[in-house]
Structure 1
Amino acid sequence: MKVVAEGSGGKIANAIIIPMIAVVVLAVACVCGLMIWSSQISDESAENSQRKLLNGALKLKLDQMARQQVGTVVWDQAYFNTVGEELDHAWLYNNIGHWLKSTYGFSRALIVDRDREPVFIYDEKLNRDWMTPEIQNQLSTAIARTRAHYITSFQRTPSGLYRFKQDQTNDGRILAETGLVRMGSHVYFFSAAAITQEVHTITAVRRPPAVLVSFDKLDSEALAKIANISGLADLRLTENAGLLPRLATVELRSPKGVVIGNLQWRPNKPGTDMLGRVAPVLLILALAIVGLTIGVIDFTRQTTRRLASSQAQAVHTASHDSLSGLPNREQFSTLLSEALKKTQDEAVGSAIVYIDLDRFKDINDTLGHAAGDEVIRAVAGRLKAIAPKTGVIARISGDEFAMLLADCENQQSVEQILTRVQDQMVRPIRIDNNELFVSLSMGAALAPRDGTDPGELLRKADIALYDAKENGRGRWSFFDNSMQETVQTKDKMSRELRRAIDNDALDVAYQPQCDASANEVIAVEALARWTHPEMGSISPSSFIPLAEETGLINDLGQWILRRACRDAHRWPDLLVSVNVSPTQFKHPRFVEMILETLDDFNLAPNRLEIEVTESVFAGQHMTILKSMKRLQDRGVKIALDDFGSGYSSLSYLRKFPFDTLKIDRDFISDMDDSLEAEAILTSIIQLGQALGMTIVAEGIEARHQIGFLADNGCHRMQGFYISRPLADEALAEFLDDRAMKQAMAVAANEEQQPSLPLKLAKG
């Protein structure tokens, strides 16, 4: 056996080790390649950034030249001295050429007249030979653009004349084109600007301007300034970029697009530098990985041998729950199939019992998941102690267990075991310093009475468990066909409800709320109604809990809210109150959906009141309070419904400033027979008044109830005495009828008032 295990372990080891070596080699190669690629990308990115800086410095220099020409080209004297037939060269020399040289260092200047002929050539060394046809050809494009820009700046007026429109380029006063040209062995910056008047007049004919072209040599001093601005090292001007291929290059082009030179510099190499620093570390890591791989290979061989020898333990672990030590769902299914096969072969009975911990979520929420785990382990231990030797206990899910009872004679024998289970749960479970009393709900199905198929029996046991939980928890139920019919009916109703929501087949009734005098309707409460075409009218007490149970409550609540907001425009003076379930409040976008609905129907937030019960706070106090505060800050009113029906209402009044307090209807119905109920009602109203809330009493069924509540300061009344819930059309008629009766009563009251005697003035 040992030899077989070692042989099996060796095969497993080889199956692991060979791919591992391949993966390690591939990983090392990938890391090295990635580092080299990353360094190249980093170098290229740094070089591109420096290239952008250099281009920016060149543009800055050219823009500066254009701005420096403003005082010379936007000048009436310069304009009139360049448009005449005979030019004053001495004036042009002193006021343009020499002035630009002495002020800005422009070493050369050229003036081209309106006919594109050079009429003035300046050089600091009085050399005119530099202006050659080749230079004129290089500049022709820039000069043409400058002239065209100037001409198009004149816009035609309705009268047929032309008016100059100020250009917004450069500083807004100069029309210029800039660039670089080569003159002999040197490269020059140039700026070609139109010579214009200081103030333009309306003209009948658009004529091209004379153009001043200023030149500044790109010498070592200019290179140093550009290198300083762009932060480049060893910036140099070369004619052939191929002479120094390791340097970064920016090509200098003439206005014609011809390369006239290259600026080269020693670029930063952050990626290469980083690779040089990291390479030794990578080498050390590679050696460490090789050593680690050898160690892992040896460890893997030993581990696979141990795993091969402990296969039985691995199988047990895979088939059992780690927390409770009980068989898991898969193992239980296997054991159940074997037991049912025996049932068929030997004609013996078996039972499947589903067991669920009642309100287990409350334990996790209040004491934490660690306490919940302790409870699971304690319950598992007690169930194992009770189960007969032929029985099996398994943990199916978080708080759900399953019991397989083989060789059961009848239902009574199963009930005896279930009674023992309930007796075990009477004793508390001690967690730290807490004693927890845990109850169980159980559902059972018997084979062969309820079937012999494993899936069918599990489903029927689950239906029986559902019946036990529905009928009070802490009990057991055995499956019968009526339970299945109930489940199918609920399933059908939930599907019909889904269809009704999707098809807009529900209705909303509105129950009016009057003021303290019971004369004026000031609010309505929206209540869902469902009339099924086959099942007839279905009570909200049936389909709303069903919506909660099946997860439809969010869609149902949103449908009611949208309908109420839509209908609210029919009664612009009324507040609309809508009930919201705890499940809706837990939706992550609940507040956003409320606000979006208000926007969709253009309803003011202060016309909407959200009614909540204290159960909405269970387990998520701070999250719920923050959501309610967001709604309240936007103007939506928040009402605490059924006040006094729970245990914690007063604590929630301290935590959140509700706008409205609705008194539970049980207090109203008890006030006729109980002085204590009247005292409690008075106290609740006084409490609400002290907290600045609007008090609403619901369940009003008699006139004297309104009188008592009004005398004690209640603000709004709601109940059948005032009106039953009404459809929107019926509510409109109710409001119109009530308004008419009130108007008639006012008129009758005025007629009964005695007339005042007339006093005649003395003549």
Structure 2
Amino acid sequence: MYKSSKNSGGRIANAIIIPMVVVVIISVFGIFGLMHWSARLSDETAEQSQHKLIAGALQLTKNYLVKLQNGVVIWDEAYHRINQPDPDQSWIYDNIMHWLFQNHGFTKSVLINRDFEVASVYAQNHTSKWMDDQLFRDLSPSVAKVRARYINSFTRTPSGLYSFVPQSSDARRSIAETGVVALAGEPHLFSAAAVMPQIQSIAKERFPPSVLVSLVPLRGEKLKDISEMSRLDGFVLTNSQTGRDGVGRYQLRSPRNADIGMIAWQTTQPGTLMLQRINPFLALAAFMIAAVVILVTLFTRQMTRRLAHSEAKAVHAARHDALSGLPNRARFHALLTDTLEESIHRQSNTAVVYIDLDHFKDINDTLGHSAGDKVIVAVAQRLKRVIPESGIVARISGDEFAMVIKDCEDDVWLEYVLDQVQDEIARPIMIGRRELHASLSMGAAIAPRDGNDPDELLRKADIALYDAKANGRNRRSFFEANMEHHVQSKDRLSRELRLALKNDELDLAYQPQTDTSAERIVSVEALARWTKEDGTVVSPAQFIPVAEETGLINDLGLWVLNKACAQAHEWPGIVMSVNVSPNQFKHPRFVEKVMAILASNNLPPQRLEIEVTETVFAGRNDSVLKALRRLKNLGVKVALDDFGSGYSSLSYLRRFPFDTLKIDRDFVSDMNGNEEAEAILVSIIQLGKALGMTIVAEGIETLEQIRFLQAHDCHRMQGYFISKPLPEAALTKFLEDFNGDGGTSGFGADLSYQAQVAKG
């Protein structure tokens, strides 16, 4: 054990130290790499900043060229002379192009007239060959922009004429475009400006301007000016790329975005300089980190040896239930998955069994949770002993267990194994000096017959367990397809019932109760009815149990109670009887809700009768009795329904003074000629009278039954012979006919006559 822990500790240490050393090494190299990357990034950022400085200086230079042109392009005389049908070329030469060369150094100029044609060409060396088609194409985009901006400067006046208003005279700003073009392989700066008047002009239509393009070589003085403005050294013009470090490059492009050369300069490299200063410190830091890693490695090895001893316990605790020591839900799922994969490979059957202890809550409630824990431990030990050696047992939760039984031969063999499980658990469990008896309900699903997916098998085993519990407990059920259909049908019905309650799609039927004379209706029992939108009638025997299981019975019961109390005003003097489910009494504010419904419908409590069955007393007797007494003190009548159907009704009659006792219909239906049944029925009537209760007989189907009950002075009678449950409108008509004067028409008259015959 110690050697295993030691080996485990070594593995843990290696698992920690090796990654840590790798991380430290990667971190050190990462730091060096990061610093070099930062230095390179800093150098690139500095170069980009210098690039922007050059771009700004170049733009300032081009803007200055535009300003130098303003003297000749914003001039009334030049505007009129240039735009004449036959302009004076000598005047243009002397006063515009040559003047620009002498005063501002523009070595070349070209005038493009309104028709977008070359009108005049000037060069310092008195040649016009420099102006070729290629250069014209390169300048065309800028000239076109100038012409478009000029035309857009015209404003339409109310008279329909166009007015051109030049820029403000103090600013003297022309409409111009600047850029760089290649001339004989050499970059030249140019400024293309519209020739326009100084004062406002008016014309019938808009027209494009003549455009003066002036050029100056980007070398010598101009290149020096850009260098001084950007405060960068080593400026040169070049036509080829250079890949040397420390050399910046600014690409020059024509208006058509063609490369026409570049400006190169010696860049500053702050990142490289910083790296040269801090490299010694980085080396020292790397050495110190290596020393710390060695110390941490030694310390970690000592600590992991101590932690290794608790590793097995921690793993076991994470995978097993602390109380029983069995695998927990997560571990069971993993084991089941592995078993199913193995069974698929071996082509064998595997059974998954869900187990639930019957009435385990009663043990906790009566003996305490400590006794319940001991029962869980005892059951776990017995399950481990009784199942086959290759089987798996796990505690899923609370009082739920699960088993996996491998290599199942057939259902008969599995039934034999489960019989042994039940026999083992059935043996008494000693808790101190107390002897307890436990039983199991089991549901089984078998792979591959019921599927090979672990979750699917567990779900089907759970469905089978539900079937076993629903059919009396202390038994087992194998999954069948109809069980799943039943569960799905119940789920669908519960969802439809919830929606029907939400949309108020249910209704009530009312079954009348007569007095002893059978001549007057004294009470009606409200019964829930459900007809779907498609006309399908859902029996109460279907939806009431579903409502009980899903908890919808609380909403359904309050809905019935509220609707019945609201409708009671239509039939004055008649008691409204409403069935209340045992689950409704579990709600801590049930009595308050009844009081609120009575108040909201303004119904006197004396006109409401609550019907309960003896199952309402199961479990929480004191709280139920307290709630019933509160209702009775309010004036609400309380009836015990289906009296005689249980085994302990007499004890409830003694513990709680009911107002009404409803005899179970089985006694009434069995009494025809049966002396024993009649004797029991008479005894119940006499018992109820002795206790001061109103006696109601249910299930009246014949005139002879009415005669017998009248003969023994039964207070109220209810059954199909009197009336089936009726909807609201039909009950109103029935009451009018039954209680009408003279009793000459309808079923009420016949019954009244029959009642008179019965009395003699």
Q: Scaled by the length of structure 1, what TM-score is found?
A: 0.57
Deviations 1:190-244 (A, max 9, x none): xxxxxxxxxxxxxxxxxxxxxxxxxxxxxxxxxxxxxxxxxxxxxxxxxxxxxxx
Give yes or no for contact 1:519–1:742 (8 Å, CA) kept in 2: no
Question: Aligned residue for 2:658?
Answer: 658
Deviations 1:356-375 (A, max 9, x none): 22233333344443443333
Structure 1 unmatched runs, 5+: 13-301, 750-763
Q: Which amino acid aligns with 1:453?
A: D
Contact kept? 2:702, 2:721, Cα under 8 Å: yes
Paired with 1:621 and 1:468, the residues of 2 have a C-alpha distance of: 28
Letter in 2 for 1:585: F
Task: Say whether 1:332 aligns with 2:332.
Answer: yes
Counterpart position of 1:69: none
Aligned residues of 2:506 and 2:529 also touching (Cα < 8 A): yes
Deviations 1:20-69 (A, max 9, x none): xxxxxxxxxxxxxxxxxxxxxxxxxxxxxxxxxxxxxxxxxxxxxxxxxx
The answer to whether the 8 A contact 2:9-2:307 is kept is: no
Q: Residue 558 of structure 1 corresponds to which residue in structure 2?
A: 558
The alignment's C-alpha RMSD in Å is 3.0
- The equivalent of 1:392 in structure 2 is 392
Counterpart-to-counterpart distance in 1, 2:328 and 2:668: 53
Residue 513 (1) aligns with residue 488 (2): no
CA offset digits 1:602-649 (Å, max 9, x no partner): 111111111111111111111111111111111111111111211221
Residue 605 of structure 2 contacts residue 636 of structure 2 at CA under 8 Å; is this kept in 1?
yes
- How far residue 322 of structure 1 moved from its aligned partner, in angstroms, is 2.5
Aligned to 1:533: 533
SS of the aligned residue for 2:524 comes to strand
Matches within 5 A, 1:41-440: 308-432=308-432, 434-440=434-440
Is the 2:8–2:308 contact (alpha carbons within 8 Å) kept by the matching residues of 1? no
Write the distance in 2 (CA, Å) between the matches of 1:651 and 1:436.
Answer: 26
Shift of 1:3: 9.6
Residues 742 and 328 of structure 1: CA distance in aligned 2, closer, same or farther (over 3 Å): farther
Count of residues in Structure 1 that have an aligned counterpart in Structure 2: 461
What is the rounded CA distance, in whole Å, between the counterparts of 2:642 and 2:307 in structure 1? Answer: 63
Paired residue type of 1:529: R
CA distance in structure 2 between the partners assigned to 1:527 and 1:639 by the alignment: 15
Amino acid paired to 2:651: S
Percent sequence identity is 62
- How far does residue 552 in structure 1 lie from its aligned partner after superposition? 0.9
Q: Distance in 1 between matches of 2:471 and 2:7?
A: 61
> Corresponding residue for 1:489?
489
Match of residue 607 from structure 2: 607
Shift, 1:528, TM fit: 1.0
Q: Cα offset for 1:436?
A: 4.0
Q: Shift in Å at residue 343 of structure 1?
A: 2.2
**1:470 shift after superposition:** 2.6
CA distance in 1, matches of 2:629, 2:528: 26
Give distance in 2, aligned partners of 1:690 and 1:461. Answer: 53
Partner Cα distance (2:679, 2:552) in 1: 41
Structure 1 pair 447/682, CA: closer, same or farther in 2 (3 Å)? same
CA gap of 1:4–1:390, structure 2 versus 1, over 3 A, is: closer
Q: Write the letter of the residue equivalent to 1:715.
A: H
Stretch of structure 1 that moved more, 341-350 or 622-631: 341-350
In the aligned structure 2, how far is the partner of 1:579 from the partner of 1:734? 22
Residues 365 and 619 in structure 1, CA contact (< 8 A), matched pair in contact too: no
With over 3 angstroms needed to count, the CA separation of the structure-2 counterparts of 1:398 and 1:574, relative to structure 1, is same
Structure 2 distance, partners of 1:411, 1:586, is 42
CA shift in 2, pair 1:747/1:631, >3 Å: closer
Corresponding position: 1:682 with 2:679: no
Counterpart residue identity of residue 478, structure 1? F
- Cα displacement (A) at 1:395: 1.1
2-structure distance, mates of 1:534, 1:492: 16
* 1:296-317 deviations in Å (ceiling 9; x for gaps): xxxxxx9998665122122212
Deviations 1:156-183 (A, max 9, x none): xxxxxxxxxxxxxxxxxxxxxxxxxxxx
Match of 2:645 in 1: 645
Q: Which amino acid aligns with 2:569?
A: H
Structure 2 CA distance for aligned equivalents of residues 702 and 451 of structure 1: 55
Please give the secondary structure, in 1, of the residue aligned with 2:327: coil
How far 1:666 moved relative to its partner?
1.5
Contact 2:738 2:749 in 1 (8 A): no
Deviations 1:558-587, CA, capped at 9 Å, x for gaps? 111111111111101110000011100101
| C-alpha separation in 1, matches of 2:434 and 2:741 | 64
1:711 is aligned to 711
Task: Give 2:500's aligned residue.
Answer: 500
What is the letter of the counterpart of residue 500 of structure 1?
Answer: A
Larger radius of gyration: 2
Instruction: Give the match for residue 454 of structure 2.
Output: 454
| Superposition deviation, residue 550 in structure 1 | 1.2
Q: CA contact under 8 A between 2:328 and 2:396: conserved in structure 1?
A: yes
Where 1:457 maps in the other structure, the secondary structure is: helix
- Offset of residue 535 of structure 1: 7.3
Asked if the contact 2:9/2:304 (under 8 Å) is kept, the reply is no
Q: Say which is worse superposed, 375-384 or 556-565, in terms of deviation.
A: 375-384
Query: Helix, strand or coil for the counterpart of 1:388?
Result: coil
Residue identity in the other structure for 1:641 = D
Output the amino acid matched with 1:335: L
The equivalent residue for 1:700 is 700
Which amino acid in structure 1 is aligned with residue 528 of structure 2?
Answer: A
Corresponding position of 2:616: 616
Match of 1:471 in 2: 471
2:509/2:726 contact within 8 Å kept: yes
Q: Counterpart of 2:524?
A: 524
2:669 and 2:598 map into 1 onto residues whose CA distance is 36
For residue 63 of structure 1, what is the aligned residue in structure 2?
none
Deviations along 1:119-169, whole A, 9 cap, x unmatched?
Answer: xxxxxxxxxxxxxxxxxxxxxxxxxxxxxxxxxxxxxxxxxxxxxxxxxxx
Return the alpha-carbon distance in structure 1 between the equivalents of residues 709 and 402 of structure 2. Answer: 55
- Residue 631 of structure 1: aligned partner: 631
Q: Distance in 2 between matches of 1:441 and 1:311?
A: 37
1:671–1:677 contact (8 Å) kept in structure 2: yes
Q: Give the direction of change, closer, same or farther, for the CA distance of 1:3–1:438 in structure 2 (3 Å limit).
A: closer
Q: Distance in 2 between matches of 1:331 and 1:673?
A: 65
Residue type at the aligned position of 1:667: F
| Distance across 1 between alignment mates of 2:321 and 2:521 | 62
Instruction: Report how far residue 333 of structure 1 moved.
Output: 0.8
How far apart, CA to CA, are the structure 2 residues paired with 1:747 and 1:2? 99
**Following TM superposition, by how much is the alpha carbon of 1:385 offset from its aligned partner in structure 2, in angstroms?**
1.2
Residue 720 (structure 2) aligns with: 720
1:572 is aligned to 2:572: yes
Instruction: Find the counterpart in structure 2 of residue 264 from structure 1.
Output: none
Show structure 2 runs of 5+ residues with no match: 17-301, 753-760
Residue 368 and residue 689 in structure 1: after superposition, are their counterparts in 2 closer, same or farther (change >3 A)? farther
Query: What secondary structure sits across from 1:310 in the alignment?
Result: helix
Q: Which amino acid aligns with 1:633?
A: N
- The 8 Å contact of residues 737 and 743 in structure 2, kept in 1 or not, is answered as no
The residue identity in structure 2 corresponding to 1:519 is: E
Deviation at 1:2, TM superposition (A): 4.7
8 Å CA contact 1:360–1:372 kept in 2: the answer is: yes
Deviation sequence 1:450-479 (CA, Å, 0-9, x none): 222111111111112222223333322222
Q: Distance in 1 between matches of 2:313 and 2:510?
A: 66
* CA distance in 2: counterparts of 1:534 and 1:488, whole angstroms: 20
* Shift in Å, 1:414: 2.2
State the alpha-carbon separation in 1 of the partners of residues 703 and 679 from structure 2.
Answer: 19
Number of the residue aligned with 1:122: none
SS in 2 for 1:407: coil
**Structure 1 residues 338 and 8, CA gap change in structure 2 (3 angstroms):** closer
Which secondary structure does the structure 1 equivalent of 2:529 belong to? Answer: strand
Q: Deviation string for 1:578-600 (max 9, x for gaps)?
A: 00111001011111111111111
Indicate yes or no: 2:734 matched with 1:734.
yes
Separation in 2 of the partners of 1:322 and 1:407? 29
